[in-house]
Chains A and B, each alone.
Chain A
């Protein structure tokens, strides 16, 4: 179906099902139960899952396939957000023109940055992209204030032209009348499920771009990109120029980032320069690595994982910990709470940093590799991989690219 093999079709159908059922799946605990704080089925968070999923899928096309580590992808995220808000200001709150502009603008931007940065590889490429992103961030904060509204952030004011704004048009982001921040709430038993327009809009786009990335992974183009990661020198000896392929990958991943940025502004009509800061670029790197670079599902998992635990960990405080450990003896309870205290609430970044280091050190393939290893232990197939050849130059390691 759709030009995919049978296995991939099943895979895609599972992904589509999971994505569409997210509002139900992420709400496993009834309201008012002690575990309700672990529910993630509210629109704001689910939208972020989908949007950062798109961002990470795009980043993975560049980093996962070609091995070029960009530290400047947040610049495209920012460009996308600014484009959408400008379209709100000039035309109307319909998100479609904005999203189209976001993709086009970020593609142009990526073409420019990529054309220059890709003349170098390795760490130089990372530093060049970092330099470009920091430049964009600094400019957005200072000189480009007429375009970006500086520190305040770009937003829609009442005296903006909004030429396409009819008398009946909604006054918040919408897609031909479907207002993003409206949602339907369904109560079943003790459970409350929220089906938000915004989430489904993001989810459908996410599924489409996931399908595109699946096709890219399976295409001859994708194989070229993998060849660049495996051995660029050998590729050029074969007579292939790798530059157009890397540039295409860079632009595609820039477009994904622009789209994600545009969607961020579609959910919340605001765009600020801090979205372009290099810590934001670092975040998408974290997501991709944590999930598993070079795999299809990894980056999405990583994005979901980080955004979910960011949300949960920031909410936990000492009182909640005390109730959890209340069964333990008092001294032990206090000691445990004291030990866990730095890692919760505002300490989420500490947990994230530690987790990230552990993943890079022990599990370079990310969560996906971890899952595979556990699966291998269960089914007893794990021993096979131990025979894998160590000599990377002559026997490039075959790596599983799906799941």
Chain B
């Protein structure tokens, strides 16, 4: 009895990790933008979605193929069989080419980083820049408008249906996670890709923190977050660095989207779905606190997965649908600065 109870708990924690990772990465980007530029970015979910569509795009580009009629093989009507061969395969040979096509989602990371950095840079210079002095309501409204526009553009090019984007064959299937930590076989089964996703997010989040902590650039940015004016007075062009941080935040959201594509087939409104929850995560973690955003992301992801256990649902029906919002409301009312928020930051 006791062992199976532990199983259930560990399984739910694991289940919560993948969603939690996505929340944490999006919330991290949101907090970076808020902490540096003081802007509430409602278009951040759209950046996540764009990342997922980077994966879709690369997959489509890599599997561009030409058709030849193979006279040696016949189809069931007796005509020569038409064979689709991706250009990649014909260029790199069978094994290497197929591997590249198969690994398109991880490869999309390389593709997405420059694309998302560029999108973030253009967005900040072209639009957000003009909204620093305007009230928060205006920032919310203009980024909300931008989110609609991005979403509709994606819908125009990719259609309204979800586009399946499979992970590499190697990561299909599941890992018997229980055996590794001393449980019986087949007790705790966990899909490989979700494990990869969690590790990936841990690396990305770690990289962002290390970048801020251990590089001169990061030091200047942190100084700018604490006191923008003084850093400016020291003769440092802080605006330029903040713009780059906006690009990095966009790239983090984009990478979260790229790797999420195999878990949930990308569709044009996935950004909006995640955005609302990510905002809740940011608020729970504490506006402007980077560790708070990450912590709250994982916590809420895990909490959500616990709430969707049948045992819990039978006691409080519908709790899985509202648990995150409920937690947010309670936190906002009892501890307005969130779990790890600094005193006085957006605490009116």
Contact = CB atoms under 8 A, between A and B. Distances in A.
- Do A and B associate with each other? yes
Interface of A: 67, 69, 116, 119-124, 126-128, 130-132, 134-135, 138-139, 141-144, 278-279, 282, 285, 289, 342, 347, 349-350, 352-354, 356-357, 360-361, 364
B329 A132 contact: yes
Contact of A130 (B141, B149, B151, B279): B279
Contacts of A342: 153, 156
Contact of A364 (B40, B138, B153, B325): B138
A123 B140 contact: yes
17 contacts: A120-B332, A120-B348, A124-B348, A128-B329, A128-B332, A131-B280, A143-B318, A282-B144, A285-B141, A289-B141, A349-B152, A350-B152, A350-B156, A356-B148, A357-B149, A361-B130, A364-B138
Those 10 A-B pairs whose CB atoms lie nearest each other, nearest first: A143-B318, A353-B148, A350-B152, A138-B321, A357-B145, A353-B149, A131-B325, A356-B145, A360-B142, A135-B325
Given A143-B317, A279-B272, A347-B156, A67 B137 contact: yes
Interface centre among B127, B283, B321, B336 (most CB of A within 10 A): B321
Contact of B333 (A119, A121, A347): A119
B74 interface: no
Given A123-B136, A132-B329, A364-B138, 17 more contacts: A69-B141, A120-B336, A121-B348, A123-B346, A127-B279, A127-B328, A131-B329, A134-B276, A135-B325, A135-B326, A138-B321, A138-B322, A142-B318, A144-B318, A285-B144, A353-B148, A356-B145
B325 A132 contact: yes
Contacts of A126: 137, 140
Interface in B216-274: 272
Contacts of A143: 317-318, 321
B39 to A, nearest CB: 11
B202 interface: no
Interface in B330-347: 332-333, 336, 346
A353 B321 contact: no
Nearest to A124: B332
A357 B146 contact: yes
A153 to B, nearest CB: 18
A313 to B, nearest CB: 12
A346 to B, nearest CB: 8
A352 B332 CA distance: 33
Given A124-B332, A127-B280, A360-B141, A353 B152 contact: yes
A193 B224 CA distance: 64
Contact of B336 (A124, A349, A353, A364): A124
Contacts of A285: 141, 144
Interface in B285-343: 287, 317-318, 321-322, 325-326, 328-329, 332-333, 336
Nearest to A293: B137
Interface centre among A132, A135, A144 (most CB of B within 10 A): A135
Interface centre among A132, A347, A360 (most CB of B within 10 A): A360
B157 to A, nearest CB: 9
B325 A134 contact: yes
B148 A69 contact: no
